[in-house]
Amino acid sequence: MIQTINSVFKAQQAHKYTLRNSNATQRINKLSALKSSIEKYEKDIYTALQNDLRKSEFESAVTEVIFIYSEIDFAIKNLSNWMKPQKVGKTITGLMATNRIYYEPKGLCLIISPWNYPFQLMMAPLVSAIAAGNCAILKPSELSSETSSIICRIIDDCFTEEEVCCFEGDAALSTILLNLPFDHIFFTGSTAIGKVVMEAAAKNLSSVTLELGGKSPTIIDDTADLEQAAAKIAWGKLTNAGQTCIAPDYILIPADRQDSFVEHYKNAVTRMFFLTDGALDLSSYAKIINKKHFERIEGLIEDALSKGASIPFGGKKNPSTQTIYPAVLTGLSEESEIMKEEIFGPVLPIITYQTTQEAIDLVNKMSKPLALYIFSKNKKNIHQIIKNTSAGGTCVNDVLIHISNPKLPFGGVNASGMGSCHGQFGFKTFSHERAVVFQSSLDMSKLIYPPYEKKGWVLKWLRKLM
């Protein structure tokens, strides 16, 4: 395996200089070929996601496949403009100069993707890497092995190894790859592993993009429509059984609205995910990825209950099908582990507050989240929360949908990530913005050359102009 990896790495190192000179038409053709290959294997993708995560075909289409078709189409439509050198303004020392920003490929990139949205979270950065003119080595998650296998088949179908190559394997493979001097590393996964990736990248001074996670709060104020909020939160929380990096992680709500919200949430969850006979509809509700994660979530619930929390709704578990039913936790202690780590499961803790500032303070006590959600009709409250908190992205009166707009950057801050992706932001992530100045023969730079005697007037003149 090491010999094969080194051989591919060496081939891509050589080929990246050819790709550097590729034009928009050539890159668009590659993106079109990728889309055609995905279309060819679309049914196989749905089967793989069903087997890995018990995702329904509809959910897989919306959150994984159609999402990537949209990303590809947006890149194809806009790539020619993205690649054009950008004009910028002049300075006093270059009044006659021409200034441009050129977008050049980073070169040879490593993309490591997770298991929760295994197709989308590999293909989205790959689309950006191709659009920017890079070579890439891909390492999908071994936990979603069937989807990983399909990803590698798609790549083999439309790329040569010297341009894009996919390797399947566990953490040992990641360690081998991270020791190589990539020009850029794009990692999606947990904050803990993100630190490992960044440490490894530092040894080779590889630039990194980290798409991580964290505890994404949802603040509901006393003006919010609870029925509407509950329905949106239920969808956002329980899509993929809560195994979503931007899922609403916990709720902050005025104490006198908690019971009403729980009732609306229960009704929304029942309507969306339960059959008429009261049984959970497993055809539309994903499973927990494996036994380890099942037991981790189970442990978080048990720890919260042992510290005084209660479950007003849900809480049933079925180890044989790796299913944790939708659940709500109230009366939580600050010492509960579920309030210290990202849940990544279908359990919704609810914390009550008295004032908007108290809710803000609770959010700011934790690491900066990947997403923050606000449900309110009060513009003053909305802007107060946005202004006084930090998050990778925010939705007001909705959840998740900001990730679907390729005109918006998607990414975290500090513990929830570094850098951004999607659309032009992804193109720039995989590009180096190179400053280029074309100096005119009529320039004023010599005014600041030595000798400096009798040039005090130049400093006075510069101070007035700058």
- Residue 157 neighbours by CB distance under 10 Å: 14
Give yes or no for a contact between 298 and 324, defined as CB atoms under 8 angstroms apart: yes
- Is 245 assigned a catalytic role? yes
Give yes or no for a contact between 316 and 325, defined as CB atoms under 8 angstroms apart: yes
Q: How much is the CA Rg of the chain, to the nearest whole Å? A: 25
- Among the listed residues 158, 245, 395, 421, the single catalytic one is 245
End-to-end CA distance of the chain: 58
How far, in Å, CA of 419 to CA of 392, rounded? 10
DSSP-H helix ranges across 405-455:
423-429
> Which two structure tokens, joined as six digits, stand for 273?
């995910």
Q: Which residues are paired to 108 by β-bridges?
A: 135
Give yes or no for a contact between 63 and 239, defined as CB atoms under 8 angstroms apart: yes
Nearest 5 degrees, angle CA 331-CA 336-CA 340? Answer: 120
Residue ranges with strand state E in 336-422:
347-353, 371-375, 393-396, 417-418
How far, in Å, CA of 206 to CA of 39, rounded? 34
Give yes or no for a contact between 173 and 145, defined as CB atoms under 8 angstroms apart: no
- Is 263 assigned a catalytic role? no
- Among the listed residues 211, 342, 395, 421, the single catalytic one is 211
Residues in the chain: 466
Give 341's DSSP letter: S
Residue with tokens 């592993």: 193
Taking 3-state DSSP, the helix, strand and coil percentages for the chain, each rounded to the nearest 5, stand at 50, 20, 30
Give yes or no for a contact between 200 and 234, defined as CB atoms under 8 angstroms apart: no
Phi, psi for 220 (deg, rounded to 5): -110, 125
240 closest CA partner among 370, 58, 405:
58
Q: Annotated catalytic sites, by residue?
A: 211, 245
